[in-house]
Amino acid sequence: MMAVRVLPTAQEVAVAAADLFDELLRRQPDAVLGLATGSTPLGMYDELIRRHDQEGLSFAEARAFLLDEYVGLPREHPGRYRNVILRQLTDRVGLPAHRVHAPPVESPDLAAACVTYEGKIADAGGVDLQVLGLGTDGHIAFNMPGSEFTSRTRLTTLTEQTVLDNARFFGGDATLVPREAVTQGLATIMQARSIVLIVTGAGKAAALHSLVEGPLSEQMPASVLRDHPRTTVLVDQVAVQLLSLR
């Protein structure tokens, strides 16, 4: 079941999302966290950092898997998603870097390395709680419209819209955004025991509208979540403005 919870502001959404990770980590300190990059989870990450600093929330025994990684950026590039998450969250909450895993992008046999990545997630016991952001075109991770609901971790090409959306992370220059990435598939994401999809801001209103009120369709990759047993969609007031049921 996919439950939609509307909160007044993005800050309240961030706190509600942080509550889910907080509860999990206090119950199960060695939990497997599914992390996302992009702007959406930043408020939640800041709240988790605050709780780590001020309330003793520990990540010392946790493990983390990223949803996606760009292909073609040097290992030290600040835009590499693994570097981004170290900087924005894991280094700041004491989650050891060697337990932060990103999809493989350098292997000469990428297909085999993708299978190995899925095996690593399975060996860790599977993702306990996965945070997701929503692309303006309905993508989750880098599963672009048209991605199969049965898809697994694989190489994919970003849509032009996504390249433009992500140019802001590359100094506003779309030509610097990699065109390819390795992403967890929709079926991979669906294996997470719990999922929180965060949707905030007016820019996501149209995508949220088709996710919640449109058809279940591979053209709206996030709609796969409607069949997940434990997915919470946390949204703010401006993101729900196009919903007829609100």
- Rounded Cα gap, residues 144 and 164, in angstroms: 14
Residue 109 CB partners (closer than 8 Å, separation 6+) = none
Residue 28 tokens read as 């199960």
CB closer to ligand F6R out of 51 and 130? 130
Q: CB 54 → ligand F6R: shortest distance, Å? A: 26
Min dist CB 184 to ligand F6R, Å, is: 9
CB of 27 to ligand F6R, least distance (A): 25
Site string for ligand F6R, 32-71 (x = CB under 6 A): ----xxxxx--------------------------xx---
Q: Which two tokens stand for residue 227?
A: 């069949």
Give bridge partners of residue 155 from the DSSP assignment.
Answer: 182
* Binding positions for ligand F6R, 132-161, rule CB under 6 A: 133-135, 139-142
Q: How far is the CB of 56 from ligand F6R (least distance, A)?
A: 28
Query: 84 in helix, strand or coil?
Result: helix
- Of 14, 9, 17, 93, which is closest to residue 51 (Cα–Cα)? 93
Per-residue contact flags (x/-) with ligand F6R for residues 68 to 107, judged by CB under 6 A: x---------------------------------------
Tokens of 231: 């997915």
Please state, in angstroms and rounded to a whole number, the distance separating the CA atoms of residues 103 and 182: 6
Closest residue by beta carbon to ligand F6R: 133
Residue 99 contacts residue 78 (beta carbons within 8 Å):
no
Of the candidate spans 102-110, 121-129, 131-139, 238-246, the one that interacts with ligand F6R by CB under 6 A turns out to be: 131-139
Q: Are 132 and 197 in contact (CB under 8 A)?
A: yes
Q: CB of 34: closest distance to ligand F6R in angstroms?
A: 10
User: From residue 213, how far is each of 51, 197, 223, 243 by CA, in Å?
Assistant: 35, 16, 10, 7
In the complex, minimum distance from the CB of residue 1 to ligand F6R, in angstroms, rounded to a whole number:
22
State the number of binding residues for ligand F6R (CB under 6 A).
14
**Positions in the binding site for ligand F6R (CB under 6 A):** 36-40, 67-68, 133-135, 139-142
